[in-house]
Structure 1
Amino acid sequence: MTLSARVLTALAIAYPFVSHFGVTLGAPVVPLLWLCLMFWASLPGRPRSPVLLALALACPVAAVIAHLAGHADLALRLPPVIICFAFAWIFGRTLRPGHTALISQIGERMRGELPEPVARYGHRLTVVWTLFFVILGLECILLGLFASPFWWSLFTNYINYALIALLFVVEYPIRRRVLRDLEHTPFIDSLRGSLRLDLR
């Protein structure tokens, strides 16, 4: 892992805590600027372009403007919605006819060509993850519209991540039961493989 990737990972892990304390302490501009740091940390290694340079300069300016206009809290409520629906799209687009479901793609990278029952299970699990992220996205919208900053932050920065982890944990024994004839990898290895998503 490169230094920039390590920095980005550290910033991403810390973001929920920064966001929660920024919201609850009345300083939502802080997590907005933290998002700018995450964007800057993702730039090394990418082809340089005027668009990326403009975005890199615009991010902190937009954060400060939102803060001065009194809309930093509103701006901070957008990223969770965008992220959830982005993941729903990443999973859902692979369900189109003629495409291999994303979970099945991960299985093929780990095991090679999959037997039909395993590929079918991967397709169904991809549907589950797609619907899961759609539901989370709708939840983020409703919380952003009707919940207090504290409850919005509690769900989007902590509870939703716990729900994602719970789905990983609950799915593993179900997989072992449904595909009982398959030689299963340990849970940690399975989790590592699942996290290596090809987002292209």
Structure 2
Amino acid sequence: MSGRTSAASPAWFAAVRPVLAFSYLSLSHLATARDSHALAALAVGMIVLLLLAEPLWHRRPWAIALAAIAGIALWQLKDSAHIHIALLLMPVIFLLLLAWLFGRTLMPGHVPVISKIVRALEGGDSEAMMAELDRYTRGLTTIWTVVFIAMALINLALALIASPGGLLARAGIDSAWSISDSQWSWFANWLNYGLVGAVFAIEFAYRKRRFPGRYKNVADFFRRMAALGPAFWRDLFK
């Protein structure tokens, strides 16, 4: 493999994933609001690019092949109402993926993912303090795993009862309770991440009280997280 394909991603590449993620959320919401199959296909395409962004940048043959197959499939589905099923299930799949990524690090022989982050941030602490932080961060990793599973189930329930475009309605099944497609979209595409932010804010406030003097504020915490570097975040779940 040439040096060009194996070279590290440029500094600006870190902004690609947030841009693709925001593009997906916006397109998904617009696709639901306008009942647009083409916008729905484009939204799913943003997810494909989000997942394959780095290997595509490095011109990995398997990533190029997957992107081509996905592109052909989405082109075929751009005039089909079935593409909206993908939008309904995407938040559920994404949240379950997060639950799996967090949960698998709780298995024997693995370091809980939040413990790994804290060890990188707090490497200079005493052995006793690190042991206490390890216990806390293992519990916190468990909490996030449960949160993601619970949110996935909520999203699945809302996708089922949305009307007229929900999963049950598309299958011709009447639901005793229902919400509008617009209400589903606001929750799945925006409120989901507000809930994640709320859980983080509550936990961060508690952590500052339990382990005082470690972070000046949220901005300082994220600055230190960013300073860990792209390689750390790329390998976090390995």
TM-score (norm 1): 0.86
Contact 1:90-1:199 at 8 Å conserved across structures: yes
* Aligned counterpart in structure 1 of residue 218 of structure 2, from 187, 190, 197: 187
Query: What is the distance in 2 between the residues matched to 1:17 and 1:68?
Result: 19
Give the RMSD, CA atoms, in angstroms. Answer: 2.5
Q: Which runs of 5+ in 2 are unaligned?
A: 1-9, 164-180
Mapped partners of 2:147, 2:58: distance in 1: 31
Which one has the largest radius of gyration? Answer: 2
Residues 119-165 of structure 1, C-alpha deviation per residue, up to 9 Å, x if partnerless? 11101110110001001111121111112321221111111010011
Counterpart CA distance in 1 for 2:104 and 2:145 is 9
What does 1:1-200 correspond to in 2, within 5 Å?
Answer: 2-37=11-46, 39-40=48-49, 42=53, 43-46=55-58, 48-49=60-61, 51-112=62-123, 115-148=130-163, 149-180=181-212, 183-191=214-222, 193=225, 197=233, 198-200=236-238
Fraction of identical pairs, as percent: 30
The structure, 1 or 2, with the larger RCO (C-alpha pairs under 8 Å, 6+ apart) is 1
TM-score w.r.t. length of structure 2: 0.73
Preserved contact between residue 144 and residue 152 of structure 1 (Cα < 8 Å): yes
* Whole-Å separation in 1 of the counterparts to 2:99 and 2:49: 25
Q: 1:179 to 1:90 in 2, by over 3 A?
A: same
Structure 1 alignment gaps of length 5 or more: none
SS of alignment partner, residue 111 of structure 2? coil
Q: CA deviation at 1:22?
A: 1.3
